[in-house]
Structure 1
Amino acid sequence: MDAGRRVRAAALELFAERGFHGTGIRDLAQRAGLSTATLYHYMGTKEELLAEIMRTSMDLLLQAATRVGVDGGAVERVTRLVHVHVLAHAARPLHTRVVDDELRALSVPLRAEIIALRDRYERLWQAAIAAGVADGVFHLRAPDVARRALLEMCSGVARWYHPEGSLAVEEMAARYAELALNLLGVSGPAPDLDMAIARDAHRLVAELWPEPAG
């Protein structure tokens, strides 16, 4: 791994473990195996490094969601979005922790940039849910509350899922899709997801998130 990637990997690990403010420059240099002077050559400021991690994570998630969550019926769109979100968060839990917990550490302009990316991503979920309500497929009193609840639920896998556990990640994503559709008012088990769709979601996540978690 080249020095630049080592710095980014070290920052991701330390920000997830200790938080932005709990991570010092010497900590970053030591974890990356570089001198402090050399570290600055690859990172700019510590805040810029944090923003880069967040920006990259949100860009990838937005790219994935755009590819799976725009076409098709509302049930299919939500199912695809849940699969990608769950699979991505299970694959990259450290990114989830940093993006969710360290946004407040950014200065106002950088924070606004990351929030804008997050809002673009959430609008894809909002549009899919609204389409289902309009078509009479989803039965909700508060679609915005449902959207927030779904995103919080699906992001939670980053906190507890372990690849060596008893539940395969693909099975977990399918169960989350079932829970999501039930929450949206689709009674009974989730409709069978076309296996080609499932394979596409898994392939997309492997393409965009190829590095092992941690």
Structure 2
Amino acid sequence: MALTGGTEPRVRRAAVNLFADKGFHGTGIRELAQAANLSSASLYHYMGTKEDLLAGIMRDALTRLLDAAGEIAGSTADPRARLAKLVALHVCTHALRPAETQVVDNEVRSLSEPARHEVVRLRDAYEEQWALAISDGMAAGRFVAGDPGVTRRALLEMCSGVARWYSPHGALSLDDLAAQYAALALRALGCVDRASGADLATAGEIVARVWGLPS
């Protein structure tokens, strides 16, 4: 059942925070209802099952990432610029939406079929944009990777880790952090060129738009 009115963001926000902090299985219905300022009976009425709520959160976050990655893919044919933008997208999203991204990264195993199948399909479609950027760069002689799949997974893990430690009060701005990660990713693929500021700024604008954040 769809959530309605002002209840939806309140329930989603409470669930995202609790699932990120305590895990899906570690979060009880009673504490979820309390965090959302609802009775347990009302919570069931609005959200369906707890798994329905988890699957909805994960589908929403992955759809936003996939839409953004598709926009990046259509913005440039240059695989170097494309990969740099994808890195900036991933870093900025994990820095600005750490709870949602940690739920997506950690809780796929908590889903049963067919919800897991749909979430994995979205995740794989997102990662395919990274795979295409890497393979296009290798075909053009811009990138070198012994095993492109291993390289892709390593880069994604590197960027995802930002969700665990990033603070807006740190020494680096998020733009500078994204630029450093993009440079690391390109060097890992044997590319000495640096991503342009315009490339990374475009990625930041896309992140802000797909998440409804101030740009």
**Structure-2 residue corresponding to 1:193:** 196
C-alpha contact (below 8 Å) 2:85/2:202 kept by paired residues? no
By how many angstroms is 1:164 displaced? 1.2
Describe the SS at the equivalent of 2:114.
Answer: helix
**What are the ranges of 5 or more consecutive residues in structure 2 without an aligned counterpart?**
none
C-alpha contact (below 8 Å) 2:81/2:195 kept by paired residues? no
Determine which of 154, 170, 177 is the counterpart of 1:172. 177
Relative distance call for 1:118 and 1:4 in structure 2 (3 A) is same
Describe the SS at the equivalent of 2:144.
Answer: coil
Q: Where in structure 2 are the equivalents of 1:115-154 lying within 5 Å?
A: 115-154=120-159
Relative distance call for 1:192 and 1:9 in structure 2 (3 A) is closer
Describe the SS at the equivalent of 1:113.
Answer: helix
By how many angstroms is 1:211 displaced? 5.6
**What are the ranges of 5 or more consecutive residues in structure 1 without an aligned counterpart?**
none
By how many angstroms is 1:108 displaced? 2.2
Number of residue pairs aligned between Structure 1 and Structure 2: 209
CA distance in 2, matches of 1:162, 1:59: 25
**Structure-2 residue corresponding to 1:58:** 62
CA distance in 2, matches of 1:191, 1:103: 34
1:11 equivalent in alignment to 2:12: no
Give the TM-score taking structure 1 as reference length: 0.93
Describe the SS at the equivalent of 2:142.
Answer: coil
CA distance in 2, matches of 1:204, 1:135: 26
1:22 equivalent in alignment to 2:26: yes
Give the percent of matched residue pairs that are identical in Structure 1 and Structure 2. 52
1:38 equivalent in alignment to 2:45: no
**What amino acid does structure 1 have at the position aligned with 2:100?**
H
CA distance in 2, matches of 1:145, 1:198: 24
